[in-house]
Chains A and B, each alone.
Chain A
Amino acid sequence: MCTTCGCGNGAKALLHDLQSGEARPLDASREHAHDHHDHDHDHHHHDHEHDHASHEVMLEQRLLAKNDALAERNRAWFSGREILALNLMSAPGAGKTTLLERTIRDVGTEMAISVIEGDQATSHDGERIRAAGAASVQVNTGSGCHLDADMVAHGLDALRPAVGSVVMIENVGNLVCPALFDLGERAKLAILSVTEGDDKPLKYPHMFRASKIMILNKIDLLAHVDFDEKTAIANALRVNPQITVFSLSAQTGEGFDQWYDWLRREAARVQETAIQCC
């Protein structure tokens, strides 16, 4: 089992290809994928220098180096195919899947969207995405609390997204762990719903700090809840002065234009960058 995440040996990560209906455990192939990345660390020199003295071996390595290397590989894969990849993170129930369903229905014809769905169990969300008209694979992380770069790589193997398309990665509902793990995405998006607290950006600063966009969802409920939109936005900006906020309702569709404009712009940018670098 992957040592990057804390999901334990008993955790069974599963991948459901919702097009073919095939489900398979990720473990065996994941071990294999990791083999290629078992760095040799280049520490041999140090060993010799220190063997007879302090026996101290310098390692100087980021603890998440393995995940970071795999994430860079995903990033290069996306870039080579001019794919816009976005990592959607939120607490459970903030409306990630509903946001994607509406987005697929509204702009799915002008841009090809496919989805990697991360959940601890079930393929409910993957089925919802498929019903909305997009291809999706469901990664079940077992007891794991976040997606990692290797899970995404395997998801991409099954999904085979088209050149120039958009890949939405819906992370496991969790405001803590996903922020630490680079998946190779172009941008992270934090989704906050007005049924949560407006102080959430302060309570979970890593997630909002790592995100380029905050989507404030369920604004159709603002009149019914004790949530101050201005305070929430001010708190997000306090944690991350560069964050861009879109307030919308995935239920009613209010506020979606600015989100779609941003999506179109980012997709165009990915293609421009690809042209420039070749």
Chain B
Amino acid sequence: MHELGIARNIVSIASDAAKGRRVTRVTVEIGGLSGVMADAVAFCFDVVAEGTPLQGAKLDIREIEGRARCNACGAEFATPELFTACACGSSDTTRLSGEELSIKSMELEEAA
């Protein structure tokens, strides 16, 4: 439900920074455990970008895999779910990646 809002935020942040220039590409990072569906953001993006400096821009979404470190045994492991426990049995873990939700960069059209 909130993916439309996330797409709006991408367009809003990039438009502000572009200061009137045309944006051709935006790169964002969305963690697999961020609670935001990358596909749904991509679906909304084109519609939201219409009529803005981002119209027709390519949206590059880098999906970041969830990983955690076990606070009991120190192992680092992939976490397909927010609550994936360590192989040692401990669920006391520190998140290393997977909750990213950020706009990294954009490309602007070359000035004529």
Give the B-binding residues of A (Cβ under 8 A).
Answer: 3-8, 38-39, 41, 43, 47, 51, 54-66, 145-146, 174, 176-177, 179-180, 202, 205-206, 209, 237-241
B64 within 8 A of A: no
Asked if A6 and B83 sit within 8 Å, CB to CB, the answer is no
Asked if A241 and B105 sit within 8 Å, CB to CB, the answer is no
Asked if A63 and B9 sit within 8 Å, CB to CB, the answer is yes
Asked if B106 and A176 sit within 8 Å, CB to CB, the answer is no
Bound complex: CA A63 to CA B110 (Å): 26
Size band of the interface chain B makes with A: 35 or more
Asked if B107 and A4 sit within 8 Å, CB to CB, the answer is no
B28 within 8 A of A: yes
Bound complex: CA A39 to CA B14 (Å): 12
B73 within 8 A of A: no
Interface of B is mostly: mixed
8 smallest CB-CB distances across A and B, nearest first, come from A6-B5, A6-B4, A3-B8, A205-B82, A239-B83, A3-B12, A5-B5, A55-B108
Asked if B4 and A55 sit within 8 Å, CB to CB, the answer is no
Bound complex: CA A63 to CA B14 (Å): 11
Could you list some 17 contacts between A and B, CB below 8 A?
A3-B5, A5-B2, A41-B16, A51-B111, A55-B108, A57-B105, A57-B107, A59-B106, A60-B102, A64-B9, A145-B2, A146-B2, A176-B1, A177-B2, A205-B83, A209-B83, A239-B83
